[in-house]
Structure 1
Amino acid sequence: MSDDPTQVQEFFGTRAATWDSRFPDDGPAYTAAVGALGLRPGDSVLDAGCGTGRALPALRAAVGPQGTVIGADLTPEMLAEAVRAGRHLSGRLLLADVSGLPLRSGVLDAVFGAGLISHLPEPEENLRELARVVRPGGLLALFHPIGRAALAARHGRRITPDDLRAEDRLGPLLAASGWRMTSYVDEDDRFLVLAVHDG
């Protein structure tokens, strides 16, 4: 799929209504990935490219009632499904693109991005924008509920050497964007990369 924002919006817009029913068993994987971020009560966190908001309840549970949870997505239909599922009760929803977030610099403790990395139109610049809104020492989690090989197989493909999510490609990309990769896991049942903002 193209990483052009309009085409990404169209792709997810037409699939929004059935998105959750296509992946009904992902909840525990999201909860585990949020747990790996090590959020504390009172923290502020952004779910970048939140889609239907599947991570929002786990993020709210991690930061507690005093914390701040924001879900940002560029597809109105996905955000509408998040509201329909009641997940807007766990965080504030923003119609926004990660290329220019309507947030002040350094206001967040962490960013969570499920399935995000492969849809970024300008990966280095977009990751730099995520770093901008996170305080120095803040965290980034790039997550997918299945690993690269399983995801490629689901789409009838194989992993190619130019896969942006490969460890030897993603590490330097993160470093060039203000992040330092601290953990890389690519297994059949999850893809999870953790990084810290070095800014």
Structure 2
Amino acid sequence: MRNMSDDHTHVQEFFAARAAGWDTRFPDDGPAYAAAVAELGLREGDRVLDAGCGTGRALPPLRAAVGLSGVVVGVDLTPAMLEAAVRAGRNHDGQLLLADVTRLPLRTESLNAVFGAGLIAHLPHPAANLRELARVVRPGGTLALFHPIGRAALAARQGRRITPDDLRAEAGLGPLLAGSGWDMTSYIDEDARFLALAVRQG
């Protein structure tokens, strides 16, 4: 069994090494992020978390969705990613917290929604970690698990094949979410994007 601190160290090292050039590697993802955020159905004044926010690319559309009266929080485990978010000025769109999404420093049922881009593949214990995301969202609130390209395109980019145990496969993701406090309401996996939406169980 892997040690959780080993998982965290691996994730931090992976992203710290890539933080400085992250946005320049994927310069055209902005519209895909904005479209995914629109699917959350946020309203003026809502409170939303960007879990594993990285360089904060989702923060501007999240802020636009909830308005000045809303609350946007970006949480990430890697200091270098948050530093890149600040350099890009995205700290003006949301509060950035150096924290672990598996143990969030947020009150129970304090949020309306969670946005997670590229998140699920980096969760050390997906069922427990998705339950922690459910803890901070009110019943009926929403979760978006997003990636700016689909599973097949991502696998091809990384020089690998999709395996049956891929966490993002529809057949596995639905039950995983259901056992973690979420009901999956839609699933899209196409070359241009991956987007699974879920509602917090009552």
TM-score per shorter chain, which class?
over 0.9
The equivalences for 1:120-199 within 5 A come to 120-199=123-202
Please give the alpha-carbon distance, in whole angstroms, between the structure 2 residues aligned to 1:65 and 1:177.
31
Cα-to-partner distance string for 1:84-143 (whole Å, 9 max, x where unaligned): 000000000000111100000000000000000000001000000000000000000000
Displacement of 1:70 in angstroms is 0.2
The equivalences for 1:86-105 within 5 A come to 86-105=89-108
2:35 to 32, 42, 45: 32
Cα-to-partner distance string for 1:120-179 (whole Å, 9 max, x where unaligned): 001000000000000000000000000000000001111111101000010000001000
Please give the alpha-carbon distance, in whole angstroms, between the structure 2 residues aligned to 1:77 and 1:176.
33
Please give the alpha-carbon distance, in whole angstroms, between the structure 2 residues aligned to 1:6 and 1:41.
37
The answer for the alignment partner of 2:10 in structure 1 is: 7
Please give the alpha-carbon distance, in whole angstroms, between the structure 2 residues aligned to 1:189 and 1:97.
29
RMSD, aligned CA: 1.0
2:24 to 21, 26, 29: 21
Please give the alpha-carbon distance, in whole angstroms, between the structure 2 residues aligned to 1:141 and 1:73.
17
Corresponding position: 1:85 with 2:84: no
The equivalences for 1:40-119 within 5 A come to 40-119=43-122
Please give the alpha-carbon distance, in whole angstroms, between the structure 2 residues aligned to 1:168 and 1:94.
33
Moved over 4 A (4+): none
Cα-to-partner distance string for 1:36-60 (whole Å, 9 max, x where unaligned): 1110000000000000000000000
Please give the alpha-carbon distance, in whole angstroms, between the structure 2 residues aligned to 1:95 and 1:183.
30
Q: Give the length in aligned residue pairs.
A: 198
Please give the alpha-carbon distance, in whole angstroms, between the structure 2 residues aligned to 1:164 and 1:5.
19
Please give the alpha-carbon distance, in whole angstroms, between the structure 2 residues aligned to 1:64 and 1:100.
27
Please give the alpha-carbon distance, in whole angstroms, between the structure 2 residues aligned to 1:84 and 1:26.
18
Contiguous gaps of at least 5 residues in structure 2: none
Secondary structure at the counterpart of residue 21 of structure 2? helix
Alignment TM-score, normalising by the size of structure 2 = 0.97
Displacement of 1:4 in angstroms is 1.1
Alignment TM-score, normalising by the size of structure 1 = 0.98
**Percent identity of equivalent pairs:** 77
Query: Which residue identity is paired with 2:23?
Result: D
